[in-house]
Amino acid sequence: PHAGPVETKNEAAMSELVPEPRQKPVVPMKPTGINASLLGYIGIDTIIEQMRKKTMKTGFDFNIMVVGQSGLGKSTLVNTLFKSQVSRKSSGWNREEKIPKTVEIKAIGHVIEEGGVKMKLTVIDTPGFGDQINNENCWEPIEKYINEQYEKFLKEEVNIARKKRIPDTRVHCCLYFISPTGHSLRPLDLEFMKHLSKVVNIIPVIAKADTMTLEEKTEFKQRVRKELEVNGIEFYPQKEFDEDLEDKTENDKIRQESMPFAVVGSDKEYQVNGKRVLGRKTPWGIIEVENLNHCEFALLRDFVIRTHLQDLKEVTHNIHYETYRAKRLNDNGGLPPMTVETEENHESNL
């Protein structure tokens, strides 16, 4: 006789647990284009101009690192990229003087201005990488430097009183110079790129490409691409970070055809058919650096500066820096890393 009310209690409890079926959210109507000429001019199209003015006032930062053996023309190539003496150049050196060999990781900052746009360019020159007899773990100082820059940015970010604009010293791009052997990549090249492709955007470059014939160059490029793929090395632009179909199509073309860029650098000018060109003089003629029939320097410059510079910065911030930040905060139990000052204050309070 008591079974009835117990069941009703259970049913009541069940009805409380089971939520009522929700109504489907109303799908917003597709925005319709309003003809502004009927309503007059609003001024939404000035947003781009407002953003342009803001960014022009603050300027831009770009930090580029060059890595490779001594004598592969790293400094010359960077000078050619930015058409100015930006690499390892102090005001005391003449152009003709021999540039001293790099013995430590050195960051040199410059402000370059073009068409009213100011860019604070930092060139990070690495020691003659792989020049020693024993090259074991010789990428470690470079990896340490890259992580130190992330750490510096993170410390600024977690400060209570933050700067309005945190100085950005993070490495946005690493040009890795491959020796034009025509054979295959050295184990050292593979080890370096394996370790560092996780923390920085690596762009492989075949240096001094004028030492190879056209057939050798094509074969070498294919071989390098194959070896990078077999070893699972992701160079920039990384496949998983393509945001849409247009990006994917454009980047696939670069990955499958252009990479690694076979380049020749030169900061010397010559007269060719009445025009001043940057080039290298050989007994059989002048190699024009910016001529696509001679080398792929123009492709590299367009890629790094004219089409992907902003993306290099975004991938550094959103992917590499975020990965470092998440790991750092996890290791620290989710707390921001304590700075020296806060540790001292903490101890004095105890």
Asked whether the beta carbons of 163 and 156 are under 8 A apart, the reply is yes
User: So what's the pLDDT on residue 237?
Assistant: 85
Question: CA-CA distances (angstroms) from residue 250 to 223, 263, 310?
Answer: 22, 21, 15
* Tokens representing residue 322 in the block: 């975020």
Q: Provide the whole-model pTM.
A: 0.77
Residue 127 lies in a domain: yes
Max alpha carbon distance in the chain (Å)? 113
Domain extent, residue 151, equals 53-332
Residue 83 lies in a domain: yes
User: So what's the pLDDT on residue 27?
Assistant: 63
Query: What dihedral do alpha carbons 209, 215, 218, 219 form, nearest 10°?
Result: -110
CATH at residue 172: 3.40.50.300
Residue 119 lies in a domain: yes
* Per-residue pLDDT tens listing for the chain (350 residues): 555 555 555 555 555 555 555 565 666 666 666 665 656 788 888 999 998 888 888 888 899 998 888 888 888 888 888 877 776 644 344 545 454 544 578 888 888 888 888 888 888 888 777 777 777 777 888 899 999 999 999 998 888 888 888 888 899 999 998 888 877 788 888 888 888 888 999 999 988 888 888 888 888 889 998 998 899 888 888 888 777 788 788 888 888 888 888 888 887 788 888 788 888 888 878 887 777 788 888 888 888 888 889 989 999 999 999 999 999 988 877 666 655 554 555 545 55
Asked whether the beta carbons of 128 and 67 are under 8 A apart, the reply is no
User: So what's the pLDDT on residue 345?
Assistant: 52
Cα 132 from Cα 188, distance rounded (Å) = 12
Taking residue 85's Cβ as centre, other Cβ atoms within 10 Å add up to: 16
| Strand ranges, E, within the chain | 60-67, 106-114, 117-125, 173-178, 202-206, 261-262, 269-272, 275-282, 285-288
Q: What long-range pairs does 252-256 form, CB within 8 A, spacing at least 24?
A: 254/303, 256/225
Asked whether the beta carbons of 227 and 190 are under 8 A apart, the reply is yes
Number of domains in the chain: 1
Residue 183 lies in a domain: yes
Cα 230 from Cα 223, distance rounded (Å) = 10
